[in-house]
C-alpha cells in the first residue's frame, strides 16, 4: 500500500534538536504502523529513530538483532510474572502473620508490637507495588486507548 502523507512531531527534550520524528498516513487516512501494511494500532507508529543521540543508538545496537530483542523482552516478561507471584505470596504471608499476631493475645508484647509495625510497613509496600503493577497491566493492554494515563504515565 502506498503511503500518502507523512507528519512530523515535536521531539522529546532528550533527543537531538535538529531532527524530526515522523508518522506515516495511508491513502485511506489511517496511520500506519512500523510497516506500511500494519494498521493494528489506530494511533499508528511514531518513528523517533532519527532523533536518537549517538549514545542511544549505540545502546539500541547492543540489544542485538530483532530476534534477540524479542527474546530479552520475553525474559523480562517472565521475570515480571515471577515478581508478581513473589509479591502475592508476600502479601498472603504478611496477612497471615498479622492475623496470628492479633488473634493470639499471648503474643501481644513489646517485641511482637515492633514486628507488627514492621509487617504493616511491608504490607503497605506490597500493596502499593501490586497496585502499580496491576495499573501497568491494565493500561498497557492492547485494547486500551494510548492516551489513557496510568499511575506510571501521568500527563
CB count in 10 Å sphere of residue 119: 17
With 0.85 as the threshold, say if the pTM is over it. no
pLDDT per position as a tens digit, 74-93: 898 899 999 999 999 999 99
Q: What mean pLDDT is predicted for residues 117-127?
A: 97
* Torsion on CA atoms 49, 52, 55, 61, rounded to nearest 10: -10
Residue count (the chain): 155
Percentage with pLDDT > 70 across the chain: 78
Domain ranges of the chain: 3-61, 64-139
**Residue 48's pLDDT band (cuts 50, 70, 90):** confident
Q: What mean pLDDT is predicted for residues 31-41?
A: 77
Amino acid at each position: 500500500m502506498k503511503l500518502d502523507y507523512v507528519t512530523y512531531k515535536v521531539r522529546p527534550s532528550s533527543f537531538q534538536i535538529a531532527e524530526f520524528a515522523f508518522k506515516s498516513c495511508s491513502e485511506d487516512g489511517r496511520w500506519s504502523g512500523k510497516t506500511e501494511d500494519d494498521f493494528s494500532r489506530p494511533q499508528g507508529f511514531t518513528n523517533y529513530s532519527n532523533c536518537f543521540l549517538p549514545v542511544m543508538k549505540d545502546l539500541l545496537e547492543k540489544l542485538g538483532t530483532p530476534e534477540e530483542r524479542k527474546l530479552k523482552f520475553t525474559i523480562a516478561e517472565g521475570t515480571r510474572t515471577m515478581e508478581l507471584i513473589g509479591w502475592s505470596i508476600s502479601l498472603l504471608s504478611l496477612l497471615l502473620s498479622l492475623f496470628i499476631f492479633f488473634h493470639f493475645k499471648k503474643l501481644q508484647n513489646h517485641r511482637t508490637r515492633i514486628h507488627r509495625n514492621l509487617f504493616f510497613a511491608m504490607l503497605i509496600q506490597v500493596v502499593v507495588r501490586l497496585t502499580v503493577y496491576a495499573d501497568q497491566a491494565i493500561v498497557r493492554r492492547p485494547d486500551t486507548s494510548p492516551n489513557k494515563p496510568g499511575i506510571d504515565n501521568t500527563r
